[in-house]
Structure formats: structure tokens, C-alpha cells
Structure 1
Amino acid sequence: MHLSLLRALFCIVCWTVATTVVASATTFTMQHGLNLDIWTTWPGTERWDEEPVLANFPEWRQNTDATKLRDIRKAGFDFVRMPIDPAIFLEDASAERVTRLIAETLESVDMLHEAGLKVIVDLHSIPSDVRKVGTNQILADPHLFARYLDVVRQLGKALAATDPATTAFEPFNEPVVDCDSTLFPIWPSMLERVHAAARKSMPGHTLVLSGSCWSSAYGLAKIDPRSIADNNVIWTFHSYEPYVLTHQGADWTGDSMSYVEGLPYPPGLLGEKAFDERAAIIRKTIATKAPEDRRDELLTGFNEMVGGVTTYPMVLAMLTEPFDKAAAWGKEYAIPPQRIFLGEFGMIRQEYRKAFRMPSSWRAAYLKDMTAAAKKRGFPWSVWSWGGAFGITLDDEKRELDPVILQGLGLKVP
């Protein structure tokens, strides 16, 4: 009887160890990823209950099929980050719409799994002054934030039915707070609430969490991960440095970038004087075409930005600074590099409504430097994005991956 009891106890211990090992083995892992589109045609809120919108949610499904998804995998991407706009779940949303959106999200995840891709489902809020629900509103309105947490719980509960080895959940994208040097940041306590809501709904899945200030490395450095106390978390940061080179022509930034185009990467690519000559043309454009009451402000902003990237060593120093900050943070808190994730980076392809298209070779050179910085530190990454202004395809209709861009990323042409 005594031996039988010991044998039984031994079996229980063995079973416990075995299940622990299995749970550890099924933790989400990743290497090279691609961000899918969020909204590329930006349907108005009045269309959010129309069948064509709901049946193609998320919107990238409108212009794709199984072959194009498999091409992503064949190129060497092992996962995708799939943005889901929470505004459509929150703004004048009926229970029927939310139920349908969750069902379409799960169907999208299944499509990507069938293509051989792992998936991070990214609840991706967007700063917006024209909608009722954007990142700023969610973070500023306690009632709306509570409703947002309900969406996190609902979506997390649905995703809990997926395989933890192939699906992870990122419950908040780019909190736009705590960008100053305040002694009382608000994001850490909000992050704890976001984490708690997601973890309660999906106890076995990997969660992807970020710091404040647009999910920057600077914001990540303000987070003490011991307040989360969860080893099944991947920490993410985003970087588009040097911004003046990666956002050329972007007319939604509210600064001088709308007037910037043609700055090569790297700076000396077209000759010793070409970069300065291009910068001079941009200054003239701002001085003559920008609104009169903003010209001085926009010129000052452009000069400050471009002055820091006139040589390739200056560019590389700015490019690698976020990586060094994230790596130092990980070392301080014993977070292994595979759990620090460069979730977004990229260089603009072509701004909507603008004629200038960034040469693929310039973009490829930039992406090569970014992925090299990530590889050096052991960070997984996901480039922004499949389509849209930063798309890595030749166009948004045929969805053919740009071979020059793929080479820059160290991948292969399918």
C-alpha cells in the first residue's frame, strides 16, 4: 500500500512536469513577420454595418486569396501581425455587429493558419480627430476605456479557442501618452488593467505588450515588467527612425513631412552634395507652399530633423538608438531578447494622393539596416506593412511582393 501510494505520487509529479513542459513548448515564438493592412480605403462609419465591409473584415481580405497568403509564407515570413481596429467594435456598434466581427476575425486567423502563418491579433487603435473613437479618446475617457477592456475580454475569450503555439494577442497598440518626462506616467497602471483583462480571457496564450509614447523604446524603458509578473508576455517596441527619411510625403503627420520628398537613403547615395541640394529644394517648397502662418514653424522643424541625418554614420546612430535602449531595458529586467519584439518599422512607399514614389532600392537599404540591428540583438521583427502607403508589395491590387524589398529584408522571392 505504501509503495502504491509512492508510485501514485510519483506519477502525479511526472504528469505535472510533463504538462509544464508541454505548456512551455507551446508558447508563441516568432522570427520574421509582416504587418497586414488595417484600413487602406478608410470606409466611413456609416458603412460599418454593410455586408461587403463585414464580410471582408479585416479589410485586407478584399484583395487577397489563399495563394497570396501562401506567398507571404514562401517569402520567409513565419508570422503576421493582424491589425484589428477597435473603433468598429465600439462606435455605435450593436451586439450583432460585434458578434459578426469576432466571427470574421476568427475566420481570418484560420485563413492565415492554413497558409502556414502564425498570427498576432493586434487590437490596433488609431489616433483620430474625425472619429468618436480613437486612441486619444480611449485613453482619456474612463468610461470608454472600460468599454475597450470589455472588447479585449470578448475578443480574448474567442481567441482562447485557438492554438497558443500559432496565435498570440496584442491588446493595445501605440498608447499616445507619457511622451514627456513626467514623474507620474499614466500608462503603467492602464497597462496592468489591459493585461489583466486579456490574461483572464486567455490564460494560456502569449500576450504582446508595449510601453507608452507610441510603443517606443523610450516608452518601454518606463515600464517595470515586474508589475505584470507574467512570463508568457512578449514586449514590443516600434521604430521608424530616422523619421524625416521614413515618412517622406506623409501629409497626415501635421508637420513638415508633407513637403518632404526625394531625400535618399543612405544620405550619400546620390553623391556628396545631392542630399544637401535636395534639402534646399524642400526648404524652398515649405517657404512658398506651406500656409503663411506656419512656414517658420515648419521650416524650423524640418531643419532640426534633417540636420541630424546628413551623413550615414549619423543615420545609423539614430537608427540603432532605440534598439540599444530596448536591449538595455531587457538586460536590466532579465528579459531574454526573443521576448523583445520590433513590432513595427518601415519606410514609406508612396503617400496617397502624392506622385512621388520612394525607390525600392532606398527602402531596401533602410530595411536591411533595421533588420540587421534587430538580428544583432536577437529581436524578432515585423515590417509595416503588406499594403498601404508603407506597403512592401508592388501595388495593392495584385499584391505581388516587391522582390527588391524582400532582398533588403533578407528574405526570398516566392
Structure 2
Amino acid sequence: MKRILCIVLWVLGMAMAVQAEPIALKRGVNVHEWLNWSPVTSGGSYVWPPYRSYNAWLSDGRPLTDWPAGDQFVRIKAMGFDFVRLTIDPGPLLANTGARRQQALDILEAAVRRITAADLKVVFNLHLVSQVPAYSESIIAGGAGSAGVTLYRGMVVDVANMLVDVGVDKVALEPFNEPAYYPCDATGSSDWQTIMATTVANIRAVSTQLTVIATGACGGSITGLTDLDPSFDDANLLYSFHMYEPHSFTHQRPEAPATFYSGLPWPVGGSTPADWIYWAQVNMSAAGLSATEQQMNLDEANPRITEYFSQDWGLSQLVTRVQEATYWAAMNNIPNRRLFMGEFGAILMPPDYHMGTYEADRSNYVRAVRVLAENFGINWSIWEYSSPTGMSVIQPIGPAVPDADLLTALGL
């Protein structure tokens, strides 16, 4: 009788696992500047204890007094977001084991609990950066059987255990960000397939209920996703892609500080390269550049400008591109609600006009991508909450007030 009861309980448990779903995510915002740049000593090692404090994050680039009173995550919740994609530098975790790794994990756990206390879910994204070369993207670049990937996967297991303690109803684990496995076809993704599948298996050995977000190769793009074989799929998996297309529009940045690359329209519509040249010259003149300097900038930008206008980017291209992800999902019996657009956005032009896009074009693009994702039932998170680079929900200069135009474009 006991044997029969055990079998019944096991079957019920398996049924519950099959019926499980990822945590509910709908509209999110990336918080990148807080824990993704753990301070480094002059000798190139991590300052210990690692990671910046909450106040150090807020006071980086503006006085702390420019921020309104109250907790920022309560503020994020009030804006209408329901989750935060929290990007984490895994370097301090990779560089240490034992008690020191646990100390770093305790700091990160406290940060996650601060966010969940504001009634926000957390996507915990391990986000390799280049501050300490030994623990940069190169650590996972050696292939599935490399020592770096083995070390990384062991670190992910420790992170998964920490997040389970926080609560599988509150957090999701995204173990990789924009993996640089190229080219963007099967020759670049075959090794990544093994890395992603084995990492998911490692996490599942910790918890079958923790929401895990998988990503394809090719910089985490839609192409990387559609090259992925989701044979490791389970009901608590989401699948990520980032939407920065066309990149020549979303990331309008000059090659050097004294040069200009800004003002491309979206959608292209009836605009022409001549229109762009006129306004570029107006902006460069306002910035005090000589006629010779202006011509040098125009010559440098010309190939990118010509290509952009020839592609005639607009809504139809966005629809076609996102449909590649939804077709892939349908072919693999994955509902759209398990697709995750983890990053999107465009650089806003600063007062000196040297990079980025005009407000109207930025809003047009963000609104179009957001509405498209929502129409397909895809979860999204905007890049990012507070940044000096012009992709920011909070105005990058002066008092830390929200960008009202961006919030409107996000439907918030």
C-alpha cells in the first residue's frame, strides 16, 4: 500500500511539474549601472567586499540630492513596471570560491530582496563585462569543454541555490547575456547549443521550479534564438532575444569624440540622405565645427547613411523580424508568452547633438517595438532605468525625473 501511495504521489508531483509555468513577467526595466560594474583596484582586482552600494549607484554622475526621497524600486513599481531585469557582473563570483563567493552572493541576495520587497519580480541576469580581462566574455569563449565554461557553470549553480532561497515565485535566472558565438549560423551555434543545454541541466539539478531564461548565440539576437534547438525545453523556461534593429538607428554613436553621427529618422518614410545631411550640418554648425570638420564627419558617416536609407527601415521590417522568433516558437510548440524580449531601446540625442536620435524618432521606434511585442504576447524590458548614455527612463542630466515621452511610448 505504501508503495502504491508513493507511486501516486510521484505521478502527482510529475504532473504538477509539467503544468508549472514561469513567473509572470509583462513589462520590465533593466537596472544595469548598480551591480554590473563592481569596483576594481588600481592593480586590476575586485575591491572587496564587491559591488557598489545603493547610494553609490544613485550618486554616480549626479548628486544624491538630485534623486527624490524614497526607494527607487517602489518608484519603478509606481511607474507601471512589474519586474526588473537586474544585470550582475559575475566576475567577483568567478574570481572566488568558498566563503568569499558566499559573501558576494549574500550581497546580491540582499539586493534582490530589496527589489522584491517593492512587489517587483526580478530577472537575475549574469552579464559579463570587460573590467577584469580574466573574467570577461572570454571566459566562456573557449567552447563547451573549456575550463572557463566549467567554472562558469559551477558559479551558476551557486547563484541558482541563492535564488531558490529568495523564492521561485519571485525570481528568474538568466545565466548568459548576448553570448558572442559567431558566425550567425549553425557553425557558430553548435557549440553554444551544448553550453546552453548543459547549463539548464545544471540549474534543473538545483530546482525544477525556478524560471530559467535561455538565449541563443549570435549576440543574443533573434537569429541566435532561431538557431537554437530547444530540445532541453521544459515548462519553466523562457527564451530571450534582444531587439536593437536596425542597429545603425538604435546605436547612433560617432567613432571619435569630436565627430557626429546622429539624427537618423525612424521610420525612414519619405526622408532622404539629403535631409539628414542638412540637419547634420545645422547641428554641427551649432556646435562650432568648421566647414572642413563638418565635411570630414559627413565623409566618415556616408557609408552608414547610404546603407540605412537604402534599407528603408520601418514597421514592416520590424514585424518580419519579430515573426522569425514567433515562427520558431510555434515550430517548437513554445507559446509566445515564453518569449522574452530582454532588451530594446534607442539612444536619445543629447544637447550637443553629436549622437543618438531625435525624441520623436526615438518615441516612434520604442512605441512600435513595444506594441509589436505586446500584440504577439511577448514579455519585454526596456534598456535601461538610469544611464548617462541616453538610453534611460530617468533623464540623464539634472534632477532624476522620468522621461515622460519614453514612459508614454512604453504605454506607462
Asked if these proteins are the same fold (TM beyond 0.5), I'd say yes
Q: Distance in 1 between the 2:57 and 2:131 partners?
A: 24
Q: Hey, what does 1:134 align to over in structure 2?
A: 136
2:259–2:297 CA contact under 8 A, matched in 1: no
2:33–2:386 CA contact under 8 A, matched in 1: no
Letter in 1 for 2:265: P
Q: CA deviation at 1:408?
A: 0.4
State the secondary structure of the residue aligned to 1:115: coil
Q: Hey, what does 2:265 align to over in structure 1?
A: 264
CA 1:41–1:129: 2 relative to 1, 3 Å:
closer
2:160–2:203 CA contact under 8 A, matched in 1: yes
Q: CA deviation at 1:29?
A: 1.5
Q: Hey, what does 2:41 align to over in structure 1?
A: 46
Q: CA deviation at 1:132?
A: 2.7
Q: Hey, what does 1:198 align to over in structure 2?
A: 203
- In the superposition, the TM-score normalised over structure 2's length comes to 0.80
Q: Hey, what does 1:170 align to over in structure 2?
A: 174
How big is each residue's C-alpha offset from its partner over 1:136-158, in whole Å with a ceiling of 9 and x where there is no partner? 34222712221111211111111
Q: CA deviation at 1:232?
A: 1.2
2:126–2:176 CA contact under 8 A, matched in 1: yes
Q: Hey, what does 1:122 align to over in structure 2?
A: 125
1:205–1:232 CA contact under 8 A, matched in 2: yes
Q: Hey, what does 2:316 align to over in structure 1?
A: 317
- Equivalent pairs counted in the alignment come to 391
CA 1:27–1:43: 2 relative to 1, 3 Å:
closer
How big is each residue's C-alpha offset from its partner over 1:320-367, in whole Å with a ceiling of 9 and x where there is no partner? 333111011011111000001111101113589986564444322211
Q: Distance in 2 between the 1:41 and 1:118 partners?
A: 18
CA 1:157–1:18: 2 relative to 1, 3 Å:
closer
Among all aligned residue pairs of Structure 1 and Structure 2, give the percentage whose two residues are the same amino acid: 25
1:168–1:205 CA contact under 8 A, matched in 2: yes
Q: Distance in 2 between the 1:381 and 1:387 partners?
A: 17
Q: Distance in 2 between the 1:131 and 1:194 partners?
A: 23
Match of 2:229 among 212, 224, 237: 224
Q: CA deviation at 1:215?
A: 0.8
CA 1:242–1:158: 2 relative to 1, 3 Å:
same
Structure 2, unaligned runs of 5 or more: 285-291
Letter in 1 for 2:161: K
Q: Distance in 2 between the 1:330 and 1:396 partners?
A: 41
Q: CA deviation at 1:245?
A: 1.4
- In the superposition, the TM-score normalised over structure 1's length comes to 0.80
CA 1:86–1:272: 2 relative to 1, 3 Å:
closer
Q: CA deviation at 1:393?
A: 0.8
CA 1:165–1:369: 2 relative to 1, 3 Å:
same
User: Does residue 339 of structure 2 align to residue 348 of structure 1?
Assistant: no
CA 1:258–1:325: 2 relative to 1, 3 Å:
farther
State the secondary structure of the residue aligned to 1:344: strand
CA 1:70–1:137: 2 relative to 1, 3 Å:
same
User: Does residue 143 of structure 2 align to residue 144 of structure 1?
Assistant: no
CA 1:279–1:394: 2 relative to 1, 3 Å:
closer
Q: Structure 1 residues 178-187 or 139-148, which shifts more?
A: 178-187
Q: Distance in 2 between the 1:164 and 1:372 partners?
A: 29
State the secondary structure of the residue aligned to 2:76: helix
State the secondary structure of the residue aligned to 2:134: coil
State the secondary structure of the residue aligned to 1:193: helix
Structure 1, unaligned runs of 5 or more: none
1:287–1:299 CA contact under 8 A, matched in 2: no
Q: Distance in 2 between the 1:156 and 1:325 partners?
A: 31
CA 1:267–1:39: 2 relative to 1, 3 Å:
farther
1:66–1:115 CA contact under 8 A, matched in 2: no
Letter in 1 for 2:126: L
Q: Distance in 2 between the 1:58 and 1:341 partners?
A: 30
Q: Hey, what does 1:86 align to over in structure 2?
A: 90
